Amino acid sequence: MSTTSSEPVSKLSADATLQEQARRHLWMHFTRMGGYSDQAEIPIIVRGEGCYVYDEHGNRYLDGLASLFCTNIGHGRADVAQAGADQAKELGFFTNWSYAHPRSIELATKVASLAPGDLNRVFFTNSGSESVESALKLARQYHRLTGKPNKYKLIAREIAYHGTTMGALAATGVTELRSPFEPLPQGACHVPNTNTYRLPADYPVSELAEAVAHRIEFEGPDTVSAVIMEPLQNAGGCFTPPEGYWQRVREICDYYDVLLISDEVICAFGRLGEWFGAQRYDYLPDMITTAKGLTSAYAPMGAVIVSDRVAEPFMTGSNSFSHGLTFGGHPAAAAVALANIGVFEEEDLLGHVRRNEAPFKAMLDRLLELPIVGDVRGAGYFWAIELVKDKQTKETFDDEQSETLLRGFLSGELFRRGLICRADDRGDPVIMLSPPLIADQEQFDEIESILRPLLIEAGDRMKVRG
Ligand SMILES: Cc1ncc(COP(=O)(O)O)c(C=O)c1O
């Protein structure tokens, strides 16, 4: 039997245009590849500088999403790139399986010094999903080591995004992302998020935290391993925690011996004006998961930062965390992360975010004048604008209208007018903004100058009621 097809396989030559090569060979993530045709180009970003990126035609865009919440220090930092290159020349790679090397040691020490409380032990990964996956496994093994082997279940929140590997996906509370891959690993369940804009009038805000306790009781406290939540939830549109929410969730976790994981893949490294989101909302988790801003994405890297208490059983006798990743703590990525953190410190990026949060918010609040803008919420440099069909009743768009509004109009127009941000409907339709942390009034004005007329036009098209 022949193993080769008689039909020649069509492959493009290297001198085809980038556009042709991308259409034929590149598989983009979470992307409707069928949507690209001769009329609809794949956007090819070739260069970045500060808050801006440039496409293959030389068009400039304000990177209002920091390239998926990543480039916190902005684009084009040759010094940070150089740190990676210098390290690659000295020691291109060595693993953290059984060995250590200077940069991962220095970075672990630095990250521990910035982390709250006794979060002193750092396990490196290569992405946010790997950080979440590692934290979930760590929680399970921790309970085994401490004599509670049945504690394996996980509690997360509805609509929250925690990544795409199977464990992280089980934590993710977005039905459309989960359903193509079910059955997912057992034991993950979800509680309401903190969408206070749409909280029923008779539902007390304090019940949002109590829902975690009810769920633990329902599942059986002896079976629950961990609670995972973002400080401020991204998916659904920047759901901020009500006053006292995190403190109550911490108490509940302590009471039931459940580990609290703060998923800070977005919220760490300055996004909320602090090193970590937990510092912004003043709670102490057992683990923090990070990625993105750790290196400002000049190299792929993530980390799980673990409390001494949780790490302790793994550090004695013949015990070990039965988990590893070849590239975790990669020397070049670690050197980049150290240089990235150096930029934060030398240029006081946290102070810059704190000083500019109010003017950023003020600009967005002015958009509340528009009939289509129902709510503006967020913190630091992380904001969502919720779009509504009727501002008085908060009526939202149905699926078809949302498709027309977001993918049929706003996403394309925002890009065409030079603003990269996210028009998202994993919950109700929102526009997400999360610019590089170096952005200031000039960029806020530019965002407003693009968003305002576009949202007026969107409101007219969708026959929004004021
Ligand atoms: C809160 C959170 N957790 C996990 C992830 C997964 O990270 P990654 O895409 O690096 O795997 C993301 C990605 O945006 C995230 O926002």
Model confidence pLDDT, tens digit, residues 238-256:
999 999 999 999 999 999 9
Atom of ligand 1 nearest to the CA of 267: 1
User: Torsions phi, psi of 378, nearest 5?
Assistant: 150, -160
Both structure tokens of 299: 């190299």
CA distance 62 to 48: 10
From the CA of 168, how far away is ligand 1's center (Å)?
A: 9
Q: How far apart are CA 65 and CA 122, in angstroms?
A: 27
Burial class (CB in 10 A: 0-12, 13-18, 19+), 118: middle
pLDDT value of position 7: 65
- Please report the atom of ligand 1 found closest to the CA of residue 163: 6
Q: How far is the CA of 291 from the centre of ligand 1 (A)?
A: 8
Contacts of 4 (CB under 8 A, 6+ apart): none
Q: Which of 165, 261, 266 to mutate to test the pocket of ligand 1 (most atoms within 8 A of CB)?
A: 266
Q: Output the CA 264–ligand 1 centroid distance in Å.
A: 9
Distance of alpha carbon 357 from alpha carbon 440, whole angstroms: 9
Q: What is the mean pLDDT of residues 140-159?
A: 98
- Ligand 1 centroid to Cα of residue 371, in Å, is 32
Q: Which of 161, 238, 239 to mutate to test the pocket of ligand 1 (most atoms within 8 A of CB)?
A: 161
| C-alpha to C-alpha distances, 4 to 1, 9, 10, 24, 236, nearest whole angstrom | 9, 10, 14, 21, 48
Question: What architecture is the 79-346 domain classified under in CATH?
Answer: 3-Layer(aba) Sandwich (3.40)
Residue 128 CB–ligand 1 contact under 6 Å: yes
Query: Domain-by-domain residue ranges, the chain?
Result: 43-73+349-461, 79-346
Assess contact for 307 and 119: CB atoms under 8 A: yes
Pairing of strands 287-290, 259-263: parallel
Cα–Cα distance for residue pair 265/26, rounded to 1 Å: 26
- At 32, list the tokens: 């409707």
Return the percentage of the chain with pLDDT > 70, whole number: 98
C-beta 424 within 6 A of ligand 1? no
The confidence band for 16, taking pLDDT boundaries of 50, 70 and 90, is confident
Least confident of 8-22, 43-57, 75-89, 104-118: 8-22
| pLDDT above 80 for 39 | no
* Tokens standing for residue 186: 């057992």
- Greater confidence, 201 or 107? 107
Choose the residue to mutate in 28, 70, 127, 129 for probing ligand 1, maximizing ligand atoms within 8 Å of C-beta. 129
Entry pTM:
0.97
Superfamily for domain range 43-73+349-461 = Aspartate Aminotransferase, domain 1 (3.90.1150.10)
Is pLDDT of 194 > 70?
yes
Same fold across 43-73+349-461 and 79-346: no
Neighbours of 17 (CB within 10 A): 11
Instruction: Give the pLDDT band (50/70/90) at residue 10.
Output: confident
Q: With a cut of 50, say whether residue 2 has pLDDT above it.
A: no
Is the beta carbon of 234 within 6 A of some atom in ligand 1? yes
What region, left, alpha or beta, does residue 463 occupy, with left being phi > 0 and alpha being psi -120 to 50 degrees? left
68, 126, 132: residue to mutate for ligand 1 pocket, most atoms within 8 A of CB: 132
Name the residue among 295, 268, 288 with its Cα closest to residue 73.
Answer: 295
Q: Ligand 1: distance of its center to the CA of 266 in Å? A: 7
Mean pLDDT for the stretch of residues 136-164: 98
CA of 69 to the centre of ligand 1 (A): 9
Q: Is the pLDDT of residue 8 over 90?
A: no
Would you say 56 and 18 are in contact if contact means Cβ atoms under 8 Å apart? yes
R_g over Cα of the chain: 23
CB 380, CB 360: distance < 8 Å:
no
- How many alpha carbons fall within 13 Å on the CB side of residue 246? 23
Average pLDDT, the chain: 96
- Pick the residue with more confidence: 95 or 40? 95
Across 153-171, average pLDDT = 98
Residue 4 scores a pLDDT above 70: no
Nearest C-alpha neighbor of 189 from the set 163, 233, 158:
158
Please report the atom of ligand 1 found closest to the CA of residue 266: 16
Nearest CA to ligand 1 atom 9: 128
Q: Is the CB of 266 under 6 A from ligand 1?
A: yes
Alpha carbons 462 and 439: distance in angstroms, whole number: 32
Mean pLDDT to the nearest integer, 2-30: 80
Atom 3 (ligand 1): residue with closest C-alpha?
162
Task: Judge if the beta carbon of residue 443 lies within 6 A of ligand 1.
Answer: no
Q: How far is the CA of 174 from the centre of ligand 1 (A)?
A: 13
